[in-house]
Amino acid sequence: MSLEPYRRKRDFAKTREPAPDAAVPKSARAIFVVQLHHASRRHFDFRLQVGDTLRSWAVPKGPSYDPAVKRLAVEVEDHPVAYADFEGDIEEGYGKGHVDTFDRGIWATAGDAQAQLRKGHLTFDLYGERLKGRWHLVRSGRKERQPAWFLIKADDAYAGDVEADDLLDATMRRSTRRAAKTPATRALAKRATARRKGPPKARKVSLAALRKAVVATKGATKAGPPRDFFAPQLARLHEAPPQGDEWLHEVKWDGYRILAGIVDGEVTLWSRNALPWNDRAPDIVQAVETLGLDSARLDGELIALDAQGRSDFNALQKTLSGEAQAPLVYMLFDLPYLEGYDLSRCALVDRKALLERLLAHAPERLRVSSHNVGDGDAVFAMAMAQKLEGIVSKRARGGYHSGRGDDWWKIKRLESDEFAVVGYTPAKGARVAFGSLLLARPKPGGGWIYVGRVGTGFTDEMLRALGRSLAKGGAKTPPVPLDDIDPMLRGALWVTPTVVAEVYYRGIGNKHLLRQPSLKTLRPDKSPDDLRDSDRGSTRGVRKAAPKGGDPVITHPDRLVYPDDGIRKQDVVDYYRAVMPWLLPPIADRPTSIIRFPDGIAKHGFFQKHVMPGLERVGTAKLKEDSGAQAVYLYPRDADGLIELVQFGAVEFHPWGSHVATPDVADRVVFDLDPGDDVAWARVVAAARLVRDVLGRLGLQTFVRTTGGKGLHVVVPLTPGADWATVKRFARGVAESLAAMHPLEFVATATKRVRQGRIYIDYLRNGRGATAVASYSLRARPGAPVSVPLRWDELGRLASATAFDIRSVPRRLARQKRDPWEGIDAVRQDLDTVARRLAGDGDATPRRRGARTK
């Protein structure tokens, strides 16, 4: 972005417009401004602050609240941020005419604004007096002298039949009438005077049923609305979570504690020490207003979301200072007062139930902090595995009391990792040898990245030993970029990395430095080069051979299976024969459901799991069903049987997670990540990596594949296996814990209305008789996509879950040097070990064997 075009078009000796270098008070948040410009052609100037400039578009007809209306927005030169304050006449030169401020406020977007603009589609939220809700800027494909975009209102709670001219105030209407010299502008002036609507009101939550529930809640007492600040309930720090079902446990969110009071419909936000926050979080004020409450008290944490929809404290700080535009979310966890009733003496579980009902259809800026009842150690272990800040444990039947007490406990995560020692600070006072060690982690491609200094946790022997070896000499020039991040480093001495230190810390703080680091131990068994190699790993293997078989007759080979893509039945047969060495081994001898499309995917298809007349080459197994009756299931034994199923119209193959010989013993756990329609692919990738990391910290090795649909599968092999009840209980526990820890990202229920904008973790694939699509199976979708196993390091390079299809997969296999899932059958790991780890058995070593797979 550059202000040079803005400077070049103006003579600042004549115009009253601000110069590019004009001083302007820095806004606390990134702003937007819309100005009504009565130039030679009346238009609205729409401007978004991105960094230190205003990206600008001229919108001739102004914004429309109708989602069906696409308003032309012509991109013009960037303007200085100071231009947001400009009003009045431009007398001479470029843009002559009168300028009024139509609206001003803050704005937010999920992800990098510049990257979205480069791609040609920016999705953002406005929080102004006139313009509210979600909007889109979409680049037009039309060839114009200046880049053309469309400004479009999202179909949200604010959408309605309102145009910009309906929202003009008296001053702007007078300016419009003064400028009305042509028939067109006279018509606009007439309409602006005739139609004087206000901006659409957000659709509010229905409160009638909720009020009845409040009255019926045990302990609720009628009380007038409290008008003043209320001090929050606080938690005491403990080393471990409490035991028993009388406690519930929720995420300790990494943000700012915010209290909300509503009196006569007016919302007031406070910090925990009673500082007003309405001006800093007008987006949250608007969101709370949409609830339509007369009186309430809300307690929660203000957090920011990164591009993957996760909470990010650094993004919160940058957004509040105007450096970024991350969406803010008010994560609510308590409701001490609601609609004329004091709930502070009600049980916490009852207050949280009311809170969930209140927010069931609330704006996405308001979320409920989910919780688990009991199993505190397991919840904390999951929080540790996911690298969250920690958990807060609360008495489930407790009331709400201001101040610190024993009803709320906070248990913080204490991480450890290994870093290279790149320098030290000189000793001061009674300290010998040195003051602190300076730490760095490997930089991709070479070099080091400074992560902070550690000065506690040393024994006297460590100090003496390091004083004799490391803390002698050194250079004053650092080997790592510092950017003045720590004034204590001015007297530091820097050394070539030779020592590795393992350090405890409590998360990553601002400027990517370790929080509260403390030395755990020195690692004489490791060198700094080991830190670079720790994530590489290596596997070697050979391609699996397909069993030999007969040659089933293929009838109607020219029948179109994928009519829109010209893919025939013979093409499907040829594909399955080409991938047979990879497709067959993982599904052979497993009960397998098929999805048949005898007349092609454009016609009716059906699901089949039992043997049908005419099949001669497939295996059959008599298995007990849930009803207790027995039925004959089909399963592929060899290539001939599988091709025979294709001859009968099979397009998709979905095996069980167990074999026909041991149908009650599962040897696979499948986590199906199914994103909502508006979830970006990057979030699905990040979610899969998070599931991998969580399971990895439980001692489980995982494998990943595309589904050929919208999502990804994370697969856990089990040897020895487990009964289906155990597997399903484990899968459900992981899914629900992830949904509780990351409610902005995951849901663990199939209800579609709660899945919007989130990823459904489908754990129901892990029950007796349940199936998941096979690796290398085609999917009955346009384009003939394929479910494909991946190495973990490939995942970031994919554009979608449908990245592979019937044509590209054989080419991939031809150049593939090894199977991405090589070694999956050699992995030795089981759920009993995981259970012992979660129960805190320090002697429980995961029973894993086999090569590490990326």
pLDDT on residue 4: 86
Q: How far apart are CA 113 and CA 387, in angstroms?
A: 27
Tens digit of each residue's pLDDT (9 = 90 or more) over 374-415: 988 888 888 877 778 789 999 999 999 999 889 999 998 777
Nearest to 347 by CA among 400, 290, 306: 400
Contact, 672 vs 711, CB < 8 A? Answer: yes
pLDDT on residue 68: 94
* Domain ranges for the chain: 4-194, 208-412, 415-533, 560-655, 665-767+822-838
Of 423-427, 534-538, 784-788, 822-826, the poorest mean pLDDT is in 534-538
Contact, 702 vs 834, CB < 8 A? Answer: no
How far CA 140 is from CA of 71, 72, 116, 144, 540, in Å, comes to: 11, 9, 14, 9, 50
* The two three-digit tokens of residue 412, written as one number: 């913080």
- Whether pLDDT at 852 is above 50: no
The 3 state secondary structure assigned to 107-129 is: EECCCCHHHHHHHCEEEEEEEEC
Mean pLDDT (whole number) for 440-449: 84
Amino acid identity for residue 303 in this structure: I
pLDDT tier at 540, thresholds 50, 70, 90: very low
Contacts of 724 (CB under 8 A, 6+ apart): 658, 664, 666, 766, 767, 768
- Whether pLDDT at 53 is above 80: yes
Tens digit of each residue's pLDDT (9 = 90 or more) over 751-800: 777 778 899 999 999 999 999 999 999 999 999 999 999 999 999 999 99
pLDDT on residue 435: 85
**619-626 CB contacts, 8 Å cutoff, 24+ apart:** 619/589, 619/660, 621/591, 621/660, 621/663, 623/591, 623/660, 623/663, 625/769, 626/768, 626/769
Of 79-83, 180-184, 235-239, the poorest mean pLDDT is in 180-184
Contact, 130 vs 46, CB < 8 A? Answer: no
pLDDT on residue 178: 56
User: What single string gives the DSSP state of each residue in 624-670?
Assistant: E-TTS-EEEEEE--SHHHHHHHHHTTEEEEEE-SSBTTBTTEEEEEE
Q: Does domain 665-767+822-838 have CATH number 3.30.70.3300?
A: yes
Contact, 694 vs 673, CB < 8 A? Answer: no
At the second CATH level, the architecture of 415-533 is Beta Barrel (2.40)
Q: How far apart are CA 106 and CA 256, in angstroms?
A: 19
Q: Would you give the DSSP letter of residue 506?
A: S
pLDDT averaged over every residue in the chain: 86
Strands 233-237, 403-412: pairing kind? parallel
Which of the residue ranges 142-146, 198-202, 510-514, 726-730 has the most confident prediction, judged by mean pLDDT?
726-730
User: What single string gives the DSSP state of each residue in 58-75?
Assistant: EETT--BS-TT-EEEEEE
pLDDT on residue 197: 63
First to last CA, the chain: 39
User: What single string gives the DSSP state of each residue in 785-850?
Assistant: BB--EE-GGGGGG-SSTT--BTTHHHHHHHH-SS-TTTTGGG--B-HHHHHHHHTT-TT------S
pLDDT on residue 537: 32
pLDDT on residue 539: 26
Tens digit of each residue's pLDDT (9 = 90 or more) over 587-603: 999 999 999 998 899 98
pLDDT on residue 408: 96
- Tally Cβ neighbours within 10 Å of residue 396: 20
User: What single string gives the DSSP state of each residue in 356-400?
Assistant: HHHTTT--TTEEE--EEES-HHHHHHHHHHTT-SEEEEEETT---
Tens digit of each residue's pLDDT (9 = 90 or more) over 34-44: 999 998 889 99
pLDDT on residue 461: 67
Contacts of 561 (CB under 8 A, 6+ apart): 567, 568, 569, 571, 572, 597, 600, 601, 651
Domains 415-533 and 665-767+822-838 share a fold: no
At residue 182, what are phi and psi to the nearest 5 degrees? -105, 160
Q: How far apart are CA 102 and CA 95, in angstroms?
A: 17
Query: Would you name the residues annotated as active-site residues?
Result: 252
Cis amide bond preceding 478, omega within 30? no
CA 814, chain centre distance (Å): 35
92-114 as b/e, with b when 16 or more CB fall inside 10 Å? eeebebbbbbbbbbbbbbbbbbe
Contact, 630 vs 622, CB < 8 A? Answer: yes
pLDDT tier at 580, thresholds 50, 70, 90: very high
| pTM score above 0.75 | no
pLDDT on residue 844: 41
At residue 840, what are phi and psi to the nearest 5 degrees? 90, 20
pLDDT tier at 204, thresholds 50, 70, 90: low
Question: Which CATH superfamily, name and number, covers 208-412?
Answer: DNA ligase/mRNA capping enzyme (3.30.470.30)
Q: What is the CA radius of gyration of the chain?
A: 31
- Whether pLDDT at 229 is above 60: yes
- Would you call 489 helix, strand, or coil by DSSP? helix
pLDDT tier at 170, thresholds 50, 70, 90: low
pLDDT tier at 547, thresholds 50, 70, 90: very low
* The two three-digit tokens of residue 756, written as one number: 């919007």
Tens digit of each residue's pLDDT (9 = 90 or more) over 705-736: 999 999 999 999 999 999 999 999 999 999 99
pLDDT on residue 287: 93
pLDDT on residue 26: 56
Q: Would you give the DSSP letter of residue 311?
A: B
